[in-house]
Amino acid sequence: MQKLARSDLWTLEAYSEARNAFRAEVIEHKKPRRVALTPNATMYFEDRTTIRYQVQEMLRVERIFTAAEIEEELAAYNPLIPDGTNWKGTFMFEYPDVEERRRALAEMPGIEHRIWVQVGDAPRIFAIANEDLERSTDEKTSAVHFLRFELDPASVAAAKAGAPIRMGIEHDRMRANVTLQEATRQSLVADLD
């Protein structure tokens, strides 16, 4: 999947005019890319569209308009775009109660390394977590993790051929095993080009 360049972005003025329509488009685009693993654990798969939106919003909020600053943002966000042999995303713990979230995070250090995807009958592929910086300690995990699932050629071929895709968590304090809906499967297969 092609990385973003400055030429792919609107100026601040042009984005101001396009923002509402683009935001509505991105909201619809994101729906099949959201996978609820448990009521409190969700994976949001990223792609070029979702990252473009994030960059545009960052430029707008921070009032970034110089070429050098825009290039810095692109350098920070482009690694979150899938490379054609992987899926990348943001894994989040979502607890409405702050104390409940704090307790849960303290019970699950290392969970980010126990999240997996599986294409058809192939072996499970466990996430490569937080390549930018460590977000967990021995005492607790973070509420947000950036994950990459690096697929082998057989898994890529199987996904493109229509094999079901499953995703889950294998941790002592949280377990999940879901089969992705067809719209989600198709959206993720598009990342493999």
CB 64 within 8 A of CB 58: yes
Question: Exposed (0-12), middle (13-18) or buried (19+): which is 99, by Cβ within 10 Å?
Answer: exposed
CA of 49: how far to CAs of 8, 22, 161, in Å? 11, 10, 24
Instruction: Report the percentage of the chain scoring pLDDT > 70.
Output: 96
Predicted local confidence at residue 22, as pLDDT: 98
141 or 114, which is more confident:
114
Report how far residue 125's alpha carbon sits from residue 21's, in angstroms, rounded to the nearest whole number: 37
User: Could you report the per-residue pLDDT of 38-83, keeping only the tens digit for each?
Assistant: 999 999 999 999 999 999 999 999 998 899 999 999 999 999 999 9
Average pLDDT of the chain is: 94
Tokens at residue 127, please?
């996430």
Q: Which pLDDT band, with edges at 50, 70 and 90, does 140 fall under?
A: confident
pLDDT at 100 over 90: yes
Average pLDDT over residues 131-156: 83
Domain parsing of the chain, residue ranges: 6-192
pLDDT tens, position by position, 26-50: 999 999 999 999 999 999 999 999 9
Spatial CB neighbours of 23, under 8 Å, sequence gap ≥ 6:
53
Give residue 139's pLDDT: 72
Which tokens is 91 given? 């894994």
Tell me which residue of 54, 41, 50, 57 sits closest to 145, measured CA to CA: 41
